[in-house]
Structure 1
Amino acid sequence: MQKIIHKAEDRAYRDRGWVRSYFSFSFAEYFNAKMMGFGALRVLNDDTIAPGEGFETHPHDNFEIMTVILSGALKHKDSEGHESVIGKGGVQLISAGSGISHSEFNASESEEVSLLQIWIEPNVRDAESRYQEGNFPTRNSQEKFTLVVAPGNGGNSLTINQEAYVSLASLGVGQEVVYEIKKEGNGVYVFIIDGEVSVEGEKIGRRDAVGLSVTDKVAIGATKEAQLILFEVPM
């Protein structure tokens, strides 16, 4: 097993006034040759957007762009005619493919919206663009992981153009779970949204992350109540 630890305080921070962002990997004007992603996981941004503010219409292509709403609500509009408001527990997936333009704004004029923005490299270029969304509230349960993104045949999960799987989990104190790799050769990147866990013996807390590869399973135990997002991606 190979392991890498990324601490929350080591992320890049940018405050543009209307949006505060922490970048886990190189993004926009932030460049770190040692932080170019984890396998096919290329971008993991932790954004907080001020009331009524947001990202004006802008284009994308050839990325799988995922947004996870942690609090508040986000208003989406794109060039394919999709318009929606996504609240806490909502997950949005844009397969940019050959090209799509979109805007994302805080739907509230009085409260901030907090979200994770994730970009995953696709396994096919210039595919037809596609928009999907779903609601995936997590809770302490024996279900262990809630699969939110998968290549296909993933039940209620959103479909991604990559051999990648994204899961959410909410763990109670002392709860232990084992994640089994779905695709041989994939690695796993565990990002702690809140709380504290032990991942294969490494204790990590809020907004910390650990990446693991050359393994077929990952053991996770909650030392405090915890919420996490787990990315299984090609390396």
Structure 2
Amino acid sequence: MDNTVLHRAETRGYANHGWLNTHHTFSFASYNNPDRMHFGVLRVLNDDQVSEGMGFGTHPHDNMEIISIPLEGDLEHKDSMGNKAVIRHGDIQVMSAGTGITHSEYNKNTDKPVKFLQIWVFPNKKNVSPRYDQITLKVADRHNKLQQILSPNPADAGVWIHQDAWFHLGTFDKDKAAHYNIKRKGNGVYAFVIKGSFTLGGITLKERDGMGIWNTEHINLAAKTQGAEILLMDVPMAL
């Protein structure tokens, strides 16, 4: 197997703030692990659950590409650029914080929590004009295949960011397999299992496990459970 790093679900940082239940794959807030600062330009992978009627108050960001992937429920977003929107399962949201942005995120539902992945990627350009975008994708288009949800190119499928990164989501029936070619020489892939289990390079990954692979040109994955869901993040390894 090529160069790999394995992060089992139970080894992630964890915090329960009452209104927020969160797991951190990489160092974040009070979770500080010098061995887990980032995977290439992938800086943050937070697995968040926000209680009914609660949320993140207005707070600032700069010079970071921030991607939100809702898994369950509805998340309301407001920002300093005047955007107000709700993102749901099937949506992908992106912010280029650039020179600076403030925003808030709330669960407006009173009957159910909201679950989403919050991902930060170091940009390849600093101090760009702040930007917000969100799109709704056809979830059926990722059945037994990998659906591109993010790239560096505004003309491509999905949202785009200021970085040579490509993200794909796939939901697979048991024993279905997929082959993925790394998009750019020098990039690595970080795989995160959202649901079920997969084998990747001979290693079994369970729900919420993560694995980074680099110095390779392609990877092969196979679902071990029905309805297994995976996120692949193809990112530059050099900061």
TM range, smaller chain: over 0.9
Structure 2 equivalent of residue 227 of structure 1: 229
Q: CA separation in 2, counterparts of 1:165 and 1:180?
A: 11
Contact 2:151 2:157 in 1 (8 A): no
Q: CA separation in 1, counterparts of 2:196 and 2:141?
A: 13
Structure 1 equivalent of residue 131 of structure 2: 130
Q: CA separation in 2, counterparts of 1:5 and 1:106?
A: 32
Distance 1:86 1:117, change over 3 A: same
User: TM-score with structure 2 length normalisation?
Assistant: 0.95
**Are residues 1:165 and 2:173 paired?**
no
1:138 CA drift (Å) = 2.9
Structure 2 equivalent of residue 107 of structure 1: 108
**Are residues 1:120 and 2:130 paired?**
no
Contact 1:76 1:102 in 2 (8 A): yes
Deviations 1:170-200 (A, max 9, x none): 1111101001011011000000000010001
Contact 1:140 1:170 in 2 (8 A): no
Structure 2 equivalent of residue 71 of structure 1: 72
Q: CA separation in 1, counterparts of 2:210 and 2:34?
A: 18
Contact 1:147 1:168 in 2 (8 A): yes
Structure 2 equivalent of residue 216 of structure 1: 217
How does 1:46-195 map onto structure 2 within 5 Å? Answer: 46-139=47-140, 144-153=145-154, 155-195=156-196
Structure 1 equivalent of residue 207 of structure 2: 206
Runs of 4+ in structure 1 deviating by more than 4 angstroms, as ranges, are 140-143
Residue identity opposite 1:189 in structure 2: Y
Structure 1 equivalent of residue 14 of structure 2: 13
Q: CA separation in 2, counterparts of 1:158 and 1:185?
A: 22
Q: How many residues align?
A: 235
Task: Calculate the aligned-residue CA RMSD, in Å.
Answer: 1.3
Q: CA separation in 1, counterparts of 2:206 and 2:43?
A: 22
Q: Greater CA deviation, 133-142 or 54-63? A: 133-142
Deviations 1:127-176 (A, max 9, x none): 01100101234347677111111000553311100001111111111101
Q: Structure 1: 5+ residue runs without aligned partners?
A: none
SS, match of residue 9 in structure 1: helix
Deviations 1:11-44 (A, max 9, x none): 0110000000001000011100000010000000
Contact 2:142 2:170 in 1 (8 A): no
Contact 1:140 1:171 in 2 (8 A): no
Residue identity opposite 2:232 in structure 1: L
Q: Structure 2: 5+ residue runs without aligned partners?
A: none
User: TM-score with structure 1 length normalisation?
Assistant: 0.97
Q: Greater CA deviation, 220-229 or 147-156? A: 147-156
Give me the identity figure in percent.
Answer: 39
